[in-house]
């Protein structure tokens, strides 16, 4: 018994020492060296910053640092009526551009997004034409971009180019006067349709201001300001291009309450028929009124000492104005008199006014 006990205890101690040595090596030496040698891969860096695998800002802008950067932007989905307005614009443009070009034109809405104005100017592929237009009733501006493919397509169609052949594109040269005039005619057609698209919501006139080819000369807002960007795709058989409409949120601010509606003419739960009926019934309601000659403030002990036959002196004359009250509200003031043997009050002043009349 004496020989086996020390062997068991010595075996247990050696096992504990072994575990302690392994734990110490893992926590002190190995852990620090592994942490020091840890290097993030490119995919992990892109995931942290919120970029896609290609290294650019893609559709995954709701994660990482990009989510923090874009958190200040207002999402267009908070203005539901914008989508209704742009859908109406697409239908109207399909008809007007067919009449304008005498060709089969299909207009489609690609997407509606929220962007910063400065980021959008930097992302415009050149060459392109930028149109600055004014919203006269809203006293602000907007921007319309026509890409080079759309420019050469509309020039080719309006000047009688053959169908079924792609438009010839000559890059690296400034646009001619004829090209600018034809694009301006196209822009005026689109602006007229935009005005008609907004008419059911709020009457507005979009007026052509100027045509620019340099984005720096088309600055209508501060770079950090948020704006709504609508991308339209226009197809004319084998030709076509894109038109992008950018409207700053400051421009839409006068009709922001209307854009918050879920559908056209929404009253947020109000029932106009019931309101009219309730108003008519209230006008037919009986109301009790009191003619108050005067008011006197007295100590409570004096009031408690009143007896039948006690007299209360009022500080009022026969020709002074008296108050006509309904509850605690004074509606009118008039003079007391008599009519056909009855005490009467002739109304001389209206003291209760509607807030609209104040």
Per-residue model confidence as pLDDT tens digits over 147-206: 888 888 888 888 877 665 555 555 667 788 888 899 999 999 999 999 999 988 888 999
Sorted by sequence, the CB contacts under 8 Å of residue 70 that are 6+ apart come out as 61
| CATH code for position 195 | 3.40.1550.10
The helix-helix angle for 81-101 and 148-158 (nearest 10°) equals: 40
DSSP 164-221: TSPPP---SSPPPHHHHHHHHHHHHHHHHHHHHHHTTTS---EEEEEEESSGGGG--S
Residues 147, 191: one domain?
yes
Under a CB-based contact definition with an 8 Å cutoff, are residues 264 and 201 in contact? Answer: yes
Residues 186, 50: one domain?
no
Assess whether pLDDT exceeds 90 at residue 345.
Answer: no
Does residue 271 fall inside a structural domain? no
Residues 306, 241: one domain?
no
Under a CB-based contact definition with an 8 Å cutoff, are residues 231 and 90 in contact? Answer: no
Pairwise CA distance, residues 64 & 283, whole Å: 61
Q: What mean pLDDT do residues 125-153 have?
A: 89
pLDDT at 244: 92
pLDDT at 55: 43
Least confident of 88-102, 113-127, 169-183, 338-352: 169-183
Least confident of 46-60, 228-242, 244-258: 46-60
Q: Percent helix, strand and coil across the chain, each rounded to 5?
A: 40, 25, 35
Residues 121, 250: one domain?
yes
Residues 184, 36: one domain?
no
Does residue 279 fall inside a structural domain? no
How far, in Å, are 40, 90, 189, 205, 206 from residue 194 at the CA level? Answer: 50, 9, 9, 8, 7
Under a CB-based contact definition with an 8 Å cutoff, are residues 111 and 139 in contact? Answer: no
pLDDT at 166: 57
Sorted by sequence, the CB contacts under 8 Å of residue 293 that are 6+ apart come out as 314, 316, 322, 336
Does residue 12 fall inside a structural domain? no
Last residue of a domain, one of 40, 66, 92: 66
Residues 198, 115: one domain?
yes
Does residue 135 fall inside a structural domain? yes
The rounded Cα 195 to chain-centroid distance in angstroms is: 19
Does residue 348 fall inside a structural domain? yes
Q: Which residues of 187-218 are buried (b: 16+ CB within 10 A; e: fewer)?
A: bbbbbbbbbebbeebbebbbebeebbeebeeb
| CATH code for position 317 | 2.30.330.10
Assess whether pLDDT exceeds 60 at residue 327.
Answer: yes
Residues 133, 246: one domain?
yes
Last residue of a domain, one of 32, 48, 66: 66
Assess whether pLDDT exceeds 80 at residue 54.
Answer: no
Number of domains in the chain: 3
Name the band, by pLDDT with cuts 50, 70 and 90, for residue 261.
confident
From the CB of residue 58, how many other CB atoms can be counted at a distance below 10 Å? 13
Query: By residue range, what is the domain housing residue 300?
Result: 286-357
Residues 180, 87: one domain?
yes
Pairwise CA distance, residues 356 & 184, whole Å: 46
Does residue 239 fall inside a structural domain? yes
Pairwise CA distance, residues 232 & 112, whole Å: 9
Residues 349, 243: one domain?
no
Does residue 254 fall inside a structural domain? yes
Name the band, by pLDDT with cuts 50, 70 and 90, for residue 255.
confident
Assess whether pLDDT exceeds 50 at residue 58.
Answer: no
- The burial class, CB within 10 Å (0-12 / 13-18 / 19+), for 167 is buried
Nearest to 259 by CA among 206, 300, 204, 299: 204
Sorted by sequence, the CB contacts under 8 Å of residue 118 that are 6+ apart come out as 222, 223, 224
Residues 80, 229: one domain?
yes
* pTM over cut 0.75: no
Residues 40, 188: one domain?
no
Last residue of a domain, one of 206, 241, 259: 259
Residues 92, 241: one domain?
yes
Does residue 173 fall inside a structural domain? yes
DSSP 234: E
Least confident of 77-91, 163-177, 240-254: 163-177
**The residue to which tokens 């950090």 are assigned:** 224
């Amino acid at each position: 018994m004496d020989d086996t006990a020390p062997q068991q205890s010595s075996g247990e101690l050696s096992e504990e020492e072994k575990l302690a040595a392994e734990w110490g090596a893992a926590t002190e030496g190995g852990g620090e060296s592994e942490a020091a040698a840890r290097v993030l891969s490119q995919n992990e860096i892109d995931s942290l910053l919120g970029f896609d695998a290609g290294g650019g800002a893609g559709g995954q802008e709701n994660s990482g640092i990009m989510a923090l950067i874009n958190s200040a932007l207002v999402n267009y989905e908070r203005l539901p009526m914008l989508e209704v307005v742009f859908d109406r614009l697409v239908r109207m443009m399909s008809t007007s551009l067919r009449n304008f070009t005498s060709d089969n034109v299909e207009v489609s809405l690609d997407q509606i997004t929220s962007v910063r104005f400065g980021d959008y100017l930097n992302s415009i592929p050149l060459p392109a034409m930028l149109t600055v237009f004014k919203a006269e009733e809203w006293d602000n501006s907007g921007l319309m971009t026509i890409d080079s493919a759309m420019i050469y397509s509309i020039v080719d169609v309006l000047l009688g180019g053959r169908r079924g052949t792609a438009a010839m594109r000559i890059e690296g040269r400034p646009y001619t006067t004829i090209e600018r005039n034809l694009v301006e005619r196209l822009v005026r057609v689109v602006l007229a349709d935009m005005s008609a698209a907004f008419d059911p919501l709020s009457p507005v006139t979009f007026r052509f201001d100027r045509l620019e080819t340099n984005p720096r000369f088309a600055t209508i807002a501060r770079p950090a300001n948020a704006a709504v960007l609508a991308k339209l795709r226009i197809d004319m058989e084998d030709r076509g291009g894109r038109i992008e409409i950018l409207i700053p949120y400051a421009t839409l601010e006068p009709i922001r309450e209307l854009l918050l509606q879920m559908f056209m003419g929404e009253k947020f739960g109000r029932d106009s028929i019931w309101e009219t009926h309730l108003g008519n019934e209230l006008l037919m309601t009986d109301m009790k009124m009191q003619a108050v000659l005067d008011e006197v403030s007295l100590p409570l002990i004096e009031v408690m000492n009143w007896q039948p036959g006690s007299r209360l002196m009022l500080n009022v004359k026969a020709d002074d104005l008296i108050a006509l009250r309904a509850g605690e509200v004074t509606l009118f003031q008039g003079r007391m008199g008599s009519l056909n043997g009855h005490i009467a009050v002739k109304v001389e002043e209206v003291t209760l006014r509607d807030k609209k009349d104040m």
